Amino acid sequence: MIKAIVTDIEGTTTALSFVKDVLFPYARSQIAEFVRHNQDDPRIAGLLQDARSIAGADLTDEQLIAVLEGWIDNDEKITPLKSLQGLIWYDGYHKGRFKGHVYQDAARNLSQWHAQGFKLYVYSSGSVQAQKLLFAQSDYGDLSVLFSGYFDTHIGGKRETASYQAIAAELGLPGEDILFLSDIVEELDAAKAAGFATCWLVRGQTIDANAAHRQVENFDQIILNA
């Protein structure tokens, strides 16, 4: 009996193109000046020190900026980078540079599921702050109020079974009571290994009835507790 739904963002609720063509380029264009102007802020300084530790070298500020830019270019799932990107996106959202893209079918069904009493959560490699911003500043208004919680890589990598076990423990539910939605099979494999029910979003693709996870083209095709 599904009681909670955990959803990925990129490629699931939100177009890949929004992340790759809007959010990433904006962070890439802003990160150098953001670091230079905010490095004395204790919160930013802590993230920069974490990034230096991961880079494995005693880098100057300009060298660190180059590393951060390279990580963005390579779409590295590095926690301090994701936190810095989230802070930069906060500025972009609130300056009206963009709105958070959410598919209409996702917005509609998430709202319906919330009204029906399902607990909704987000699990994305983007920082929790970035997740909240996207849904709070979405094309369909503030959708952040639909969610009971958010998870990012602080709880673990999305392709690691232990991450989903930790999420289940946080939710206080057995895995079989949780449905995980994603467009990435390795993430779905990890969730399934933790006992989760799974659903594979394959937007714009042909459904494979023999796939390892139930496939749907959009949220309208997801059936809960049928």
Domain ranges across the chain = 4-15+100-221, 18-94
- CA-CA distances (angstroms) from residue 15 to 106, 130, 160, 223? 11, 15, 24, 22
Q: Do domains 4-15+100-221 and 18-94 have the same CATH topology?
A: no
| pLDDT, tens digit (0-9, with 9 covering 90-100), for 4-15 | 999 999 999 999
Select 4-15+100-221's CATH number: 3.40.50.1000, 3.30.1300.10, 3.10.20.310, 3.90.1150.10.
3.40.50.1000
Query: Looking at the predicted structure, is the pLDDT value of residue 226 above 80?
Result: no
pLDDT digit string, tens, across residues 79-109:
999 999 999 999 999 999 999 999 999 999 9
Q: List all residues 6 or more positions away from 118 whose beta carbon is below 8 Å from its beta carbon.
A: 2, 3, 4, 5, 224
- Average pLDDT taken over every residue of the chain: 95
Q: pTM of the predicted model, to two decimals?
A: 0.86
- Give mean pLDDT, residues 32-47: 95
Mean pLDDT, range 178-183, rounded to an integer? 98
pLDDT of residue 165: 98
Give exposure, 43-78, as e/b (b: 16+ Cβ within 10 Å): ebeebbebbbeebeeebeeeebbebbbebbeeeeeb
At the top level of CATH, the class of 18-94 is mainly alpha
Question: According to the model, what pLDDT value does residue 58 have?
Answer: 86
Please, which residues have CB within 8 angstroms of residue 203's CB and are 6 or more apart in sequence?
11, 103, 183, 217, 218
Position 88: which residue type? I
When pLDDT is averaged across residues 147-153 and rounded to a whole number, the result is 97
